[in-house]
Amino acid sequence: MWNLPKKLFSKVKILARKRLINVVKSLNIKCQVWMLYFLECPYHTQSVKNAIVNWTATYRRDSDIVAPYERWQYYDSRVTQIQQSFNYAANKTKKVAWFVSNCHPRNQRMHYAKELAKHIQVDIYGACGTLRCSRSQAQACFDMLDADYKFYLAFENSNCRDYITEKFFVNGLGHNVLPIVMGAHPTDYARSAPYRSYIHVDEFESPRELAQYLHRLDADDELYNSYFKWKGTGEFINTYFWCRVCSMLHDEQRTAKHYRDVNEWWRGEGVCAANSWRELEHLRNT
């Protein structure tokens, strides 16, 4: 509960994943703002049925307050690619790596990785694979990734709109490997990531077709290096989330808002895809 010197909203209550309650009886709309604050996807958050919510604060772009895991900004919006003097393929002898511990996610990523491994080398580290690299020595693991591997599976645990986490931003873009992504819709990655900095699985009809393209990249250093021309064109910036919340609370001119069914907004049709977005769109068109 925040006590703020404001006529319209003197208090704010935040409903987070671990403390989501039915607020209908205790809500005083005249003096409180109820904000739904989630950083996990709908599959991993509690039900918000019957919750009276004024504002939403999530990673989704249609939230009242957008709270992305990271936000990319170009130094000059006209310059999205620059020539690199470094060969990112040099001395790398291995193909695809993946650090993963959740073996039973909602989006069938394990099945996809196993199918991909039938056509190209995929080294799986952690509880879901045969290789080990201790979390207590994370830096050594990522140093190995940079030195030995060309590709990294930046697979989220669920396929939901705008759900792009550190698996991509930190594990992938933060290192000298080419991320292969699964999770948010392809258009969400296009809005959130540097241009030509990743490969989305839905660009291909099957793991086999993806593997064929990865073999092509492996054999062509110039083509492989073209996926790193984004480096040096911008940076990830601080979005000052709590400052924006505070600013909204002090905005006397802001129109009061109330969600009739925030649960429908949060987990309604089209928000998440059980399998691939390609498959979901195919079903819609048949």
Instruction: Give the CA distances from residue 211 to residues 48, 58, 145, in Å, rounded to whole numbers and listed in that order.
Output: 41, 34, 19
Give the closest residue to 74 by CA, choosing from 196, 241, 236, 240.
236
Residues belonging to the chain? 286
Q: In the numeric block, which tokens belong to residue 150?
A: 């060309």
Helices (H), the chain: 109-116, 138-148, 166-169, 186-192, 207-219, 221-225, 241-249, 262-267, 277-284
3-state secondary structure of 86: coil
**Beta-carbon contacts of residue 2 (< 8 Å; ≥ 6 apart):** 11, 12, 249
Of 40, 235, 269, 281, which one is the catalytic site residue?
Answer: 40
- 40 catalytic residue (yes or no): yes
On the 0-12 / 13-18 / 19+ scale of CB atoms within 10 A, 202 is buried
Residues acting as catalytic residues: 40
